[in-house]
Amino acid sequence: MKLHTRAVHIGDRKRVEGGRDWVPVTTPIHTGTSYFYNDLADLDRVFGKEMAGQSYARYSNPTNDALEELCTSLEGGAGSLACSSGMAALHMAVSTALLDRRRVVLAAKLLYGATLNMLVKAFEPAGVEIHFVDFDDESAVAAAISEHRPGAILMETIANPMLRVPALDRIAALANNAGAPLIVDNTFATPLITRPLEHGAAIVVHSLTKYLSGHGDVLGGVVVANQEFYGPLRDISRMLGFVLGPFEAYLAMRGIKTFPLRMERQCANAQAVATWLASHPAVDRVYFPADPAHPDAANIQRLFEPGLFGAMVSFEVKGAAREQIFKVMNSLRMVVPATSLGDVHSIVLYPAMSSHRDLAPKHRARLGIQDNLLRLSVGIEDPADIIADLDQALSAT
């Protein structure tokens, strides 16, 4: 089945052997935390992993099982774990990858701010060596792998917020040669645009909060692992318990059914908005993966589904300092100035104030994140309305 079809059907209508001959068409919310069996020997078998079944909600839950099966199918993995947030999913991914490997992580310099912070403020103090390298420079990645011999490698498909697209397939080959699992945060791209496991990654992570759920009402994450890492992932999850609640799992699954349709529309809208922004007199520079002059155009062509470039657009407002940026954002009447992305509504975020706030200004500048940079997550509205709102707000500078 194609991805659009799987998004609608996979995970639902699970029959329990020996159960009733009807099932709900869509998976309901299972709130029970523990499970009763007529024969205790069956519960014993479930605990011992000799028999499939439920025992305790920290281990698994039928609503989460359905969502996990769906995410596994969309990303082409061996299995998934639904987590309480995207950050919890990233933490689980790194912890799993390092279980039996050198406690050294090689990470891309350009990552979501909280991911950078998690590495240096949570993993490093716990004794994990962290090294950052420019993932747009393949020879630098190769050199860093031989110098540091990492136990895990971490990158984003479309790096936040400069929208660079590293050569994930070639980096995966380097990682696999070095025996270091490549973890890819595919939140910005989604499996509609590219599936990192098909390109050699070992583990894929999503913030479910974004495109997959898509309606601004779920905080969640998911780790999709290949065969090697799925078992260890579930084993440590049973102890750590960063799992998603069943209400959120239900909402995320409901969102995913329409995610390919929403994403296609968002990608098309983003392309229209990026083209319009590029010729706006108040805009200095636009960053968007469809730009033929994009520094990673060859990677984009090789890795992305044709005609889909994501729905994030970053742009610099000419000569604007923080006050002018605030003025532009305060002038918006429809596009929402808020912290998130991937929702049905367009959202604009100021990286220097929010996603990358904790980085020193010098560090931000080195990453190319200027104080006049805005990051726009384009929604499903009529593109003419998005453009009209941006136009009137930009005239406030």
Ligand X SMILES: Cc1ncc(COP(=O)(O)O)c(C=O)c1O
Active site residues: 58, 112, 185, 210
Residue 389 lies near ligand X (rule: CB under 6 A): no
Q: Which is nearer to ligand X, 244 or 320 (CB)?
A: 244
135 contacts ligand X (rule: CB under 6 A)? no
Report the residue from 86, 166, 214, 337 that binds ligand X according to the rule CB under 6 A.
86
Establish if 207 lies at the interface with ligand X (CB under 6 A).
yes
* Contact call for residue 213 and ligand X (CB under 6 A): no
* Three-state DSSP string of the chain: CCHHHHHHHCCCCCCCCCCCCCCCCCCCCCCCCECCCCCHHHHHHHHCCCCCCCCECCCCCHHHHHHHHHHHHHHCCCEEEEECCHHHHHHHHHHHHCCCCCCEEEEECCCCHHHHHHHHHHHCCCCCEEEEECCCCHHHHHHHHHHHCCCEEEEECCECCCCECCCHHHHHHHHHHHCCCEEEECCCCHHHHCCHHHHCCCEEEEECCCCCCCCCCCCCEEEEECHHHHHHHHHHHHHHCCECCHHHHHHHHHHHHHHHHHHHHHHHHHHHHHHHHHCCCCEEEEECCCCCCCCCHHHHHHHCCCCCCCCEEEEEECCCCHHHHHHHHHHCCCCEECCCCCCCCCEEECCCCCCCCCCCHHHHHHCCCCCCEEEEECCCCCHHHHHHHHHHHHCCC
Residue among 160 and 269 whose Cβ is closer to ligand X = 160
Quick one: 207 or 226, whose CB is closer to ligand X? 207
- The interface mask with ligand X, positions 140-159, x = CB under 6 A, is ----------------x---
Nearest approach, Cβ of 5 to ligand X (angstroms)? 27
Which one among 10, 43, 219, 376 touches ligand X, defined by CB under 6 A? 219
Q: Which of positions 283-342 make contact with ligand X (CB under 6 A)?
A: none
Q: Which stretch binds ligand X (CB under 6 A): 85-93, 119-127, 273-281, 330-338?
A: 85-93
Stretch that binds ligand X, among 83-91, 139-147, 233-241, 266-274 (CB under 6 A): 83-91
Nearer to ligand X, 200 or 221 (CB): 221
x/- map, 41-80, ligand X, by CB under 6 A: ----------------------------------------
186 belongs to the binding site for ligand X (CB under 6 A): no
Which window, 38-46, 183-191, 289-297, 359-367, contacts ligand X (CB under 6 A)? Answer: 183-191
- Which residue has the CB atom at the shortest distance from ligand X? 86
Closer to ligand X by Cβ: residue 163 or 394: 163
Q: How far apart are CA 295 and CA 114, in angstroms?
A: 25
Chain contacts with ligand X (rule: CB under 6 A): 85-87, 112, 114, 156, 160, 185, 187-188, 207, 209, 219, 221
